[in-house]
Amino acid sequence: MKKTETERKFEEYREYLSKEAIRLASYVGLYRRLHERRADRLDEMNMAPAFFQVALDALFSAIVLWVDKLLSEKSERGLVNFLKFCEHNRKIFEVKELQRRRNYPDGHWMLKREPITFQTIQEDREKIKRLEPLKSFRLRRNKFHAHFDKEYFFDRKKLSKEAPLKWSDLEKVIDVIKDIINRYSAAYDGNLYELEPVNVTDVDYLLDRLHRSKKR
């Protein structure tokens, strides 16, 4: 089956976008795992405090920047632009196109789905806009992580007060990104992405090994 230029573009966009989403999920997963292991492996982390503290700081900066890149309206190739591409090429998401790509017979269960409409895309845009944590990510990105604002540079507590973030905020962001990518991917050819962090528990092996070595 020969693909159209629009189909090739969608597949390329989906692939690169999912890779960046997995990158963000990996940053978040490792950042959280390191915080969790402080409860039982703090002594081991303190054997190399410069490494672990720098790693945590670097991961948090990367999380702030990647959330902004993926969800900012100003990003030229993030989720907002992806939705614009989908809006202008809604024909590729028609159920009959899915049937053609996968060679599904009439009545196949995968064909019993709501079509992608302009309203669907608008709802996803609103879902991004309603993400409350984005305000905090945007403020942190603009005032400290991408540029130093003199007000926040000299008052670090101000940033924490005005741009609070919780673990649940990170989860909400990942969930929205995953939901949007998979909605259009499933409509296109039935493929779904897990967007799971990569090998986050590798750090457990290192910390537990250090712990056993210390006991000996």
Computed over its alpha carbons, how large is the radius of gyration of the chain?
A: 21
Q: 92-101, 139-148, 202-211 — which is least confidently predicted?
A: 202-211
- CA gap 60, 211 in Å, rounded: 26
The predicted pLDDT at position 154 comes to 93
- pLDDT more than 70, % of the chain: 99
Highest mean pLDDT among 59-63, 105-109, 155-159, 201-205: 59-63
pLDDT class of 1 with cuts at 50, 70, 90: low
Predicted confidence (pLDDT) per residue in 38-59, tens digit? 999 999 889 889 999 999 999 9
Instruction: List b or e across 1-12, with b for residues whose CB sees 16 or more CB atoms inside 10 angstroms.
Output: eeeeeebeebbe
Half-sphere exposure of 174 (CA within 13 A, CB side): 20
pLDDT at residue 212, as a whole number: 87
The two structure tokens encoding residue 119: 């309203």
pLDDT at 216: 64
Q: Which residue's entry shows tokens 């309603």?
A: 130
Using CA atoms, how far residue 145 sits from 58, 62, 89, 92, in Å, is: 10, 9, 35, 38
Q: Which residues touch 65 (CB under 8 Å, ≥6 apart)? A: 141, 145, 146
166: helix, strand or coil? coil
- Residue range 124-166, pLDDT digits in tens: 999 999 999 999 999 999 999 999 999 999 998 999 999 999 9
Cα–Cα dist 212/91, whole Å:
59
* The amino acid at 29: G
Please name the amino acid found at residue 13.
Y
Q: What is the mean pLDDT of residues 11-29?
A: 96
Contact predicate 95/67, CB 8 Å:
no
